[in-house]
Amino acid sequence: MARAYLDHASSSPLRPAAFEAMLPYLRGHPGDPGRLHAEGRETRIAVEVAREQVATLFGARPREVVFTATGTESVNTAIWGAVERARSGSDRHHVVTTAVEHSAVLDAVARSGFETTVVGVDGRGRFAAPEVLAAVRDDTALVSVQLANHEVGTMQTAVAEIVAGARDRGAVVHVDACAASGHVPVDFAALGADLCSVDGPSWGAPKGAAALLVRRGLRFPPFVVGGAQERARRGGLEDVPALVGFGAAAAELSDGATLVGEATRARSLTDALAAAALAEPGVTRFGDPTDRLPHLVCVGIDGVEAEPVLLGLDQRGVAVHSGSSCSSELLEPSPVLAAMGVDAERSLRASVGWSSTDDDVDRFATAFPEVVTRLRALRGG
């Protein structure tokens, strides 16, 4: 029997359109896009077409798209660039962020050495615009906030107000939209941010493909040095097949109807996943159940640790995620849930994607109560 893969928020199967677009560049087309010979010009055209496709999906100009290998690199590029820009050219040495940001944001901010104000959140993982803006000072160089939470799915409805208010105060604003990209509309121009991180693997683009959107006219030092690629904003030979696949996947969603249709389908599936989990006593849903990313659901389970539940589901052919997002193989307590004031030790995140089916949900609905009941019985014994 086929397994039920319910960890799309980490990485989703490659879309057929992306796969087909990549094949010619895996089999041939060896040219370096930075070279002037015919082979180089051919791959340069492919990279620039992909740039236009990604820009269209995310409401940006092609020249505002800086390709990176991962969303984590995109975030690091944004924060490093903003901090170094301030360090060398101003007396602004303060950063504002929130307690529910991805570890890439929090670790990059911590490494900067700048004084940092971390704004708290409510019980659904949502930060408030007045609190974030109250933390912005005359010496604030950077404000970095997420568009949606990567673990509990809560949409951050205050982002537009924060972007406008922080930029009025002279701070550079970075929005981490990696969790939201490909699942809900992300419009860089309408958002008004200086920097925006997006990536592709969670919605069917290839691993190794992401981007930083940089507002036209903003200059900052590159994070990856050693070459003049990406208009001197990111050194290194481009991964042409991955970028071509990224572009093809973006083009598939750019008509709007596909993105909306997939989001509607994902919400239906995650509603069913949540209902199946909440039918078991002692299970609590985390995050906003309504104003949320459509493709993921996060629950807490009383009486058992997360790791044995995850492993029990895996043995029954169901793949889910637990612990802090991107925390490696160590199932560490989630700092997001800790910031929300809920149990950070017993969370389970199930997420769907473009290829998910009703059978995946049915398999989870059958396996979840069996695993939880068995583990609670063993613990009680």
Task: For residues 247 and 261, state if they share a domain.
Answer: no
With 50 as the cut, is the pLDDT of residue 52 above it? yes
User: Would you call 196 a catalytic residue per the annotation?
Assistant: no
**What CATH code is carried by the domain that includes residue 373?**
3.90.1150.10
Task: For residues 193 and 275, state if they share a domain.
Answer: no
Three-state secondary structure string covering 256-275: CHHHHHHHHHHHHHHHHHHH
pLDDT value of residue 323 = 61
pLDDT in tens, 8-48: 999 999 999 999 999 999 999 999 899 999 999 999 999 99
Range of the domain at 170: 16-253
Do strands 4-5 and 318-319 pair parallel, antiparallel, or not at all (unpaired)?
Answer: parallel
Task: For residues 148 and 185, state if they share a domain.
Answer: yes
With 80 as the cut, is the pLDDT of residue 332 above it? no
pLDDT in tens, 184-243: 999 999 999 999 999 999 999 999 999 999 999 999 999 999 998 998 899 999 999 999
Q: Where is the domain boundary, 221, 253, 285? A: 253
Task: For residues 247 and 269, state if they share a domain.
Answer: no
Task: For residues 28 and 153, state if they share a domain.
Answer: yes
SS3 304: coil
Q: Exactly one of 178, 196, 298, 326 is catalytic; name it.
A: 326
With 70 as the cut, is the pLDDT of residue 331 above it? no
Domain total in the chain:
2
pLDDT in tens, 65-90: 999 999 999 999 999 999 999 998 88
User: What does the mean pLDDT of the chain come to?
Assistant: 94
Task: For residues 61 and 135, state if they share a domain.
Answer: yes
Model confidence, pTM: 0.95
**What CATH code is carried by the domain that includes residue 169?**
3.40.640.10
Mean pLDDT of 324-331: 50
Q: Where is the domain boundary, 230, 253, 276? A: 253
Q: Where is the domain boundary, 201, 221, 253? A: 253
pLDDT in tens, 106-131: 999 999 999 999 999 999 999 999 99
- Beta-carbon contacts of residue 368 (< 8 Å; ≥ 6 apart): 276, 277, 280, 313, 318
Q: Concatenated DSSP letters for 158-218?
A: THHHHHHHHHHTT-EEEEE-TTTTTTS---HHHH--SEEEEE-GGGTSPTT-EEEEE-TT-
Task: For residues 80 and 65, state if they share a domain.
Answer: yes
